[in-house]
Amino acid sequence: MMDPAALDAVDAGCPARRLLGRLAERWTGLVLVALADGREKRFSEVAREIGNISPKMLSQTLRGLERDGFVERRANGGPGGRPVYRVSALGAEMMEPLGALSGWAYAAREQYDAAPVARTPA
């Protein structure tokens, strides 16, 4: 395993750069959290769980996560053959550091909110 201190994600040649870019996207973490329970979910279930995400953005995010190996998609054998999604083994492995980051964000929210920087909603 590579020493994390030796990584330089700013360097275009860094092997972790693409992965860090994927994880930094706005909806990635929320989609992974919505699928974290390991159950297969239909597109509409994921959308409902996240809330306030357009179908286009959810579709793009799910496709990217599937391409990168974090999410598995399969055609449901039921009526209409609508696809279902679930977190892959790699995605499940990502939940530990994502959970730690979420815990930190929750603990730091008061400091963040009190910071004297003007913020605009995303």
Domains of the chain: 14-106 (1.10.10.10)
Q: DSSP class of residue 101? A: H
Q: What does the alpha-carbon distance between residue 70 and residue 73 come to, in Å, rounded to a whole number?
A: 10
DSSP lists the bridge partners of residue 86 as: 72
Q: Which residues of the chain have pLDDT under 70?
A: 1-7, 78-79, 118-122
The number of beta carbons lying within 10 Å of the beta carbon of residue 113 is 8
Quote the pLDDT of residue 3: 62
Q: What does the pLDDT read at residue 121?
A: 63
Query: Cα-Cα-Cα-Cα dihedral of 97, 99, 105, 107, to 10°?
Result: -120
Q: What is the pLDDT of residues 46-77, one digit of tens each?
A: 999 999 999 999 999 999 999 999 999 998 77
Q: What is the pTM of this model?
A: 0.79
